[in-house]
Amino acid sequence: MAEFSEIPSGMIGKTVSPATYHIIETNEAAPVDELSVQAWSQVSDMPSLEKKRQFDTDFEIYDITSDQKKFELYIGTAG
């Protein structure tokens, strides 16, 4: 979302502090909820990532507009 003035009623805007993100992407023909579980499973299988996580700015992006579903998981890390 480009500006807070575009936020739908009932939602709030937050500014995410500049951080480094580790991105996990999936491009599979599967329900988005399954893709989410798969991505988070990858995080738990990465001990080096777990040590760098900030636990304050993780977020998910879903693109369900095409035949090939896309899911991106952004993990906020310290450098």
Domain residue spans in the chain? 18-77
Burial class (CB in 10 A: 0-12, 13-18, 19+), 55: exposed
DSSP string, 10-53: T----PPPP-EEEEEEE--SS-HHHHHHHHHHHHHT-HHHHHHB
Of the pLDDT bands very low, low, confident and very high (cuts 50, 70, 90), residue 67 is low
Quick one: how far is CA 5 from the chain centroid? 23
Burial class (CB in 10 A: 0-12, 13-18, 19+), 43: middle
User: For 4-57, how does the pLDDT look when each residue is reduced to its tens digit (9 = 90+)?
Assistant: 778 888 888 877 766 688 888 887 777 878 888 888 888 888 888 878 888 888
Residue type present at position 44? S
